[in-house]
């Protein structure tokens, strides 16, 4: 079946991925479109047959591979599904001059120094308007004077790479799937996002909606002039709010392994912008949860709201992207076919743009359109796939976030370094402190596989610890100890960072810090 190579699908996709032009007539034009997404994820049961490097039914791929799979769409029994990666292309590329291995080692060994350089760059920008790049250059010269000139130059280029845009993406769904159940949730979230002044699209996923907006790196005439253009203040604030990057996460980001689709280290400032956006999304989600519950109750619907995608019998505001690096977070592309079930066809469509409802809030019309390829085509041509600029709304949200309780009492403590000595003490003493202060969770520690991978079990563990006076940082330290304990053998896929997985307390305890 042919779908992904039609001009209206290609056009929708390049718009969704940030190209500067709207119409894409064919695959050749798609190959050369100036999209801003670094990678896309392709999902297809036939993927290993058409893409020789694929060992699974899903793989991350660059623009040329995506174009290749789209070109042979007619050879597949069912079209491949495409997902955009939250990692966006950098402001500039770096010529590593064959020394990428040396840069990887330098960054890994000096992650604390590099986090300090970023902290100073943003502090001096806010203090007296110092150019961020110039501060980074100066600090690299000071802190890495033992490197030769070429390596220092490469490191400067790498540390000043910024994302061309950052994506705000709030994922809501219900389990079991019910769009009627989600309707009060959708309307509540839409009202609050518009109240912040955020321009966004709401796309229909398989079981819910994605609220999506973007922050471009450069603005037309408003922003900080860095010599290359007007740097968006909202992007600067996101990178500053993102905070320090943990050691194992730095290792994952900077690593380039043979056979990987990664051709170069992932920019660290892209990760900081991603972390900043995730914090904003959680701030927004936990502070609207109670109103969502009231809205559901007023419609005589079950007012159950949770924040992880593994819960059952609940509405889900999914915040589990806090546990992933930027290069591992993806979301479904508008115009792509939802591939979880083959029939009936379900096309990912835009339900609303900046508050305007394309289907006049008629769910039956929306479902009919996404299940009918002809109707879906007409809708895609009409709606396009462009993600709007949400700078004004994100600035308003950042201002509210800066004064929030969740920033002071949850996110700031979570950004502090986890003491490696305390991790070793937990492991070597067989968690003696827990035996003494919170024995009720010992069973979960003993059965860490699978209990420390289950959000339901972890939520209970963290609540017990909170009731016994443990801090959020204590919870993160215990989690890291359990994940690193060779006796517990907790099975975490090595492509994930344990430093990010130990952020489960932040995901699950967010509602304790509303306001």
- 104-117: pLDDT as tens digits: 999 999 999 999 99
Residue 83: inside a domain: yes
Residue 205 has pLDDT above 60, yes or no: yes
Report pLDDT for 380.
98
Q: Are residues 19 and 143 in the same domain?
A: no
The verdict on 66 and 112 lying in the same domain is no
* Mean pLDDT score across all residues of the chain: 94
Confidence category of residue 342, pLDDT binned at 50, 70, 90 = low
Predicted local confidence at residue 395, as pLDDT:
97
Flag whether pLDDT at 341 surpasses 60. Answer: no
Assess if residue 130 is contained within a domain. Answer: yes
Full domain range(s) for residue 153: 100-161+230-267
Q: Which of 267, 286, 316 is the last residue of a domain?
A: 267
Q: What is the pLDDT of residue 57?
A: 83
Per-residue pLDDT of 361-407, as tens digits, reads 999 999 999 999 999 999 999 999 999 999 999 999 999 999 999 99
* Final residue before a domain boundary, out of 250, 267, 284: 267
Question: Are 143 and 255 part of one and the same domain?
Answer: yes
Dihedral sign from CA coordinates of 173, 174, 177, 181: negative
In a domain, residue 484? The reply is: yes
Overall domain count for the chain = 3
Structural domain includes residue 273: no
Same domain, 151 and 40: no
Residues 441 and 464 both lie in one domain: yes
* Span 129-166, pLDDT tens digits: 999 999 999 999 999 999 999 999 999 999 999 999 99
Q: Is the pLDDT reported for residue 488 higher than 60?
A: yes
pLDDT of residue 158: 98
Q: What is the DSSP letter of 417?
A: P
Q: Are residues 335 and 481 in the same domain?
A: no
Are residues 113 and 83 located together in one domain of the fold? no
Smallest CA-to-CA distance from 16 within 208, 219, 169 is with 169
Q: Tell me: do 241 and 337 sit in the same domain.
A: no
At 431, is the pLDDT very low, low, confident or very high (cuts 50, 70, 90)? very high
So what's the pLDDT on residue 515? 83
- 122 and 13 belong to one structural domain: no
| Confidence check: pLDDT of 469 > 70 | yes
Q: How many CB atoms lie within 10 A of CB 389?
A: 19
**Average pLDDT of the residues in 409-423:** 94
Rounded Cα distance between 188 and 295, Å, is 8
Q: Are residues 468 and 489 in the same domain?
A: yes
Q: Write the CB contacts of 502 (distance below 8 Å, at least 6 apart in sequence).
A: 418, 476, 477, 479, 480, 483
**What whole-number percentage of the chain has pLDDT above 90?**
85
Nearest C-alpha neighbor of 393 from the set 183, 191, 185: 191
Tens of pLDDT, residue by residue over 215-230, are: 999 987 777 877 788 8
Q: Does residue 413 form part of some domain?
A: no
pLDDT in tens, 253-291: 999 876 566 789 999 999 999 999 999 999 999 999 999
- Cα-based angle 280, 282, 286 (whole degrees, multiple of 5): 125
CA-nearest of 483, 434, 491 to 461 is 434
Same domain, yes or no: 152 and 13: no
Q: Taking a C-beta distance cutoff of 8 angstroms, is the pair 61, 41 a contact?
A: yes
Report the share of the chain in percent with pLDDT over 70. Answer: 98
State how far the Cα of 138 lies from the Cα of 140, in Å rounded to an integer: 5
215, 242, 267 - which closes a domain: 267
Q: Is residue 407 part of a domain?
A: no
* Residue 422: per-residue pLDDT: 96
Tell whether 443 is covered by a domain.
yes
**pLDDT at residue 258, rounded to an integer:** 62
Please check whether residue 94 lies inside any domain of the structure: no
What does DSSP assign to residue 511?
A: G
Residues 17-76: pLDDT tens digits? 999 999 999 999 999 999 999 999 999 888 877 777 677 888 888 999 999 999 988 888
Q: Are residues 62 and 130 in the same domain?
A: no
């Amino acid at each position: 079946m042919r779908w992904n190579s039609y001009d209206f699908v290609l056009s929708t996709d390049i718009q969704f991925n940030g190209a500067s032009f709207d119409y894409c007539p064919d695959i050749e034009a798609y190959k050369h479109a100036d999209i801003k997404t670094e990678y896309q994820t392709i999902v297809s049961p036939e993927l290993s047959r058409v893409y020789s490097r694929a060992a699974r039914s899903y793989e991350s791929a660059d623009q040329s591979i995506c174009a290749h799979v789209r070109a042979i769409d007619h050879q597949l029994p069912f079209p491949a599904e495409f997902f955009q990666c939250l990692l966006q292309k950098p402001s500039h590329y770096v010529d590593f001059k064959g020394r990428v291995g040396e840069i990887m080692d330098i960054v890994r060994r000096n992650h604390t120094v590099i986090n300090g350089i970023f902290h100073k760059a943003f502090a001096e920008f806010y203090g007296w308007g110092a150019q961020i790049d110039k501060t980074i250059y100066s600090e690299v010269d000071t802190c890495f004077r033992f490197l030769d000139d070429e390596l220092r130059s490469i490191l400067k280029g790498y540390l000043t790479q910024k994302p061309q845009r950052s994506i705000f993406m709030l994922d809501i769904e219900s389990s079991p799937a019910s769009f009627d159940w989600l309707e009060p949730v959708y309307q509540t979230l839409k009202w609050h996002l518009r109240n912040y002044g955020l321009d966004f699209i709401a796309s229909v996923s398989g079981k819910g909606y994605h609220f999506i907006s973007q922050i471009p790196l450069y603005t037309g005439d408003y922003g900080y002039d860095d010599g290359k253009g007007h740097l968006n203040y909202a992007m600067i604030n996101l990178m500053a709010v993102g905070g320090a990057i943990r050691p194992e996460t730095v290792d994952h980001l900077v690593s380039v392994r043979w056979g990987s689709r990664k051709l170069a280290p992932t920019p660290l400032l892209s990760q900081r912008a991603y972390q900043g956006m995730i914090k904003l999304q959680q701030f927004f989600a936990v502070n609207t949860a109670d109103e969502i519950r009231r809205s559901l109750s007023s419609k005589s619907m079950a007012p159950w709201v949770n924040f992880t995608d593994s819960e059952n019998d609940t509405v889900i505001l999914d915040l589990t992207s806090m546990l992933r690096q930027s290069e591992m977070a993806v979301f479904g592309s508008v115009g792509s076919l939802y591939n979880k079930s083959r029939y009936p066809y379900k096309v990912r469509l835009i339900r609303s743009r900046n508050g305007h409802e394309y289907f006049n809030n008629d769910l039956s019309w929306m479902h009919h359109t996404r299940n009918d390829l002809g109707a879906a085509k007409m809708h895609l041509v009409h709606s396009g796939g462009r993600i709007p600029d949400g700078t004004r709304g994100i600035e308003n949200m950042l201002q509210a976030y800066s004064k929030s309780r969740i920033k002071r009492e949850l996110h700031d403590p979570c950004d502090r370094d986890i003491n490696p000595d305390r991790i070793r003490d937990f492991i070597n003493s067989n968690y003696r402190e827990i035996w003494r202060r919170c024995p009720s969770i010992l069973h979960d520690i003993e059965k860490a596989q699978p209990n420390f991978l289950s959000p339901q079990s972890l939520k209970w563990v963290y609540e017990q610890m909170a009731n016994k006076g443990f801090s959020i940082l204590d919870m993160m330290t215990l989690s890291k100890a359990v994940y690193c304990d060779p006796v517990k053998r907790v099975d975490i896929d090595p492509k994930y960072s344990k430093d990010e997985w130990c952020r489960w307390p932040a995901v699950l305890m967010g509602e304790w810090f509303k306001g």
